[in-house]
Amino acid sequence: MEEKRLNVAVLGCGSVGSQVVRLLTEQADDLAARVGAPVELVGVAVRRLDAPRDIEVPEGLLTTDAAGLVARDDVDVVVEVIGGIEPARSLILSALENGASVVTANKALLAEDGPTLFEAATKAERDLYYEAAVAGAIPILRPLRESLAGDKVTRVLGIVNGTTNFILDKMDTAGSGFSEALEEAQALGYAEADPTADVEGFDAAAKAAILASLAFHSRVTASDVYREGISEVTAADVQSAREMGAVVKLLAICELRGDQVAARVHPAMIPRSHPLASVHGAYNAVFVESEAAGQLMFYGPGAGGSPTASAVLGDLVTVARNRLADTRGAGESAYADRAVLPMGETRTRYHVALDVDDRSGVLAAVATTFADNGVSIQTVRQEGRGADAQLVVVSHGATDAALSSTVQQLRGMDIVRDVTSVMRVEGGDE
């Protein structure tokens, strides 16, 4: 065992890959002590040899032949930080087939086609670790998979996209509108030129699928996740949340409902007293509820080259230790095989703000519409403004279909001039 060394190949040398390469070099002595054998970087696959990079890759290690690198028979661990579906998927499958263990940060691939990868890892009897795929540096997958393995997780609420949290936080603290806050996020490098993946919730939905799969020992893919982004969130929504002591966050919500799993991503109002409410800027946090442990929260930087590399390296140490001991960690756990609850049947609560005629009978008519749909009302706030009035209704828990149909009927009522804000409410009692 003293003679053994672990050879590592890194696929991709962008913001994460370059930090992985840096840490592998700078922390070599500590890594060797923690793994129990030297960890050696044997190759870095890139698209262009002459692209500008944040770091200097040691002489002779760069290659454009990623397929050739993962096919080498002296590679023990492959780190995939290219991202996207292809060629990442083929490279990971090839690495596993060739007997390497894999560490990846690829949320999109895991959320779309995780089962294929997990089956390949099981067949090859190798590890496939992916802590960096959700919430960057925050250790959340390992705690879910291992620390809570003796408990029953009932709900996961995550702020898992830093871009949207930055934008919503800005709208809350500075009173900005969505476009203005997005522009600031872009100027500061928190949002891409094409911000769709973040702003429309695709990134968060991929993470929700991964979280739900782990938390509930089932297979949940990105297409199972209901998704709404934040581009429709208005300054009025944020103000309305503020008036009821709440704040708007884009949440990834994974819940156990009877024998089924609900997984969804949408903006929601949460009480300011909730621990997630104080997650500011581009930070991420994941709030976990379980039967025995109660309420836990994990907080930290959800993105960035260096934090994400920290998560990759943590996995690398575990995977390398397993290789040395000729064993593997726990693989995919999907024994519970729970079905996904359709969004319409998922229970939630709605906040609805209406401009209505200011005359007697209006409140009764609105309340009747809620009641007709089987939705019970928790609070109503009414403010007269001359000829018209504003009515803010917060419902008790009901199915999303019933709530959605209530809003549709409200929109069709003569006395309702406008529905100015509709948003789900989470993080409190039903």
Query: Residue 317 or residue 398: which is nearer to a second copy going by CB?
Result: 317
Query: Residue 201 or residue 301: which is nearer to a second copy going by CB?
Result: 301
User: Taking the complex as a whole, how short is the minimal distance between the CB of residue 190 and a second copy, in angstroms?
Assistant: 15
Strands 77-80 and 6-11 turn out to be: parallel
User: Taking the complex as a whole, how short is the minimal distance between the CB of residue 35 and a second copy, in angstroms?
Assistant: 8
Q: Output the six-digit token pair for 96.
A: 């596993």
Residue 321 burial (CB < 10 Å; 0-12/13-18/19+)? middle
CB 228 within 8 A of CB 415: no
Nearest-angstrom CA–CA distance, 240 and 169 = 15
Residue ranges at the known binding site: 11-18, 107, 192
Candidates 4, 152, 170, 207; catalytic one? 207
Nearest-angstrom CA–CA distance, 347 and 264 = 11
Helix (H) or strand (E) holding 91: helix 88-97
Residue ranges at the known binding site for NADPH: 107
Query: Residue 34 or residue 347: which is nearer to a second copy going by CB?
Result: 34
Which neighbouring-strand residues pair with 422? 352
Task: Please name the residue that has the structure tokens 């209530």.
Answer: 406
User: Taking the complex as a whole, how short is the minimal distance between the CB of residue 177 and a second copy, in angstroms?
Assistant: 26
Residue ranges at the known binding site for L-homoserine: 192
User: Taking the complex as a whole, how short is the minimal distance between the CB of residue 322 and a second copy, in angstroms?
Assistant: 8
Interface with a second copy by CB under 8 A: which residues? 19, 23, 27, 30-31, 33-34, 131, 137-139, 142-143, 146-152, 217, 275, 278, 290, 292-301, 304, 306-307, 309-318, 321, 325, 327-328, 330, 333, 335-336
Query: Residue 12 or residue 307: which is nearer to a second copy going by CB?
Result: 307
User: Taking the complex as a whole, how short is the minimal distance between the CB of residue 259 and a second copy, in angstroms?
Assistant: 13
CA angle 141, 146, 150 (to 5 degrees): 130
Q: Strand, helix or coil at 235?
A: helix
CB 109 within 8 A of CB 117: yes
The set of long-range contacts for 331-335, using a CB threshold of 8 Å and a minimum separation of 24, is 331/118, 331/121, 331/122, 331/127, 331/128, 332/114, 332/115, 332/118, 332/121, 332/122, 333/145, 333/214, 333/217, 334/115, 334/118, 334/213, 334/217, 334/218, 334/219, 335/217
User: Taking the complex as a whole, how short is the minimal distance between the CB of residue 321 and a second copy, in angstroms?
Assistant: 6
Nearest-angstrom CA–CA distance, 196 and 181 = 15
Query: Residue 162 or residue 195: which is nearer to a second copy going by CB?
Result: 162
Q: Strand, helix or coil at 274?
A: coil
Strands 62-63 and 77-80 turn out to be: unpaired
Q: Is 4 a catalytic residue?
A: no
Query: Residue 135 or residue 222: which is nearer to a second copy going by CB?
Result: 135
Query: Which residues are catalytically annotated?
Result: 207
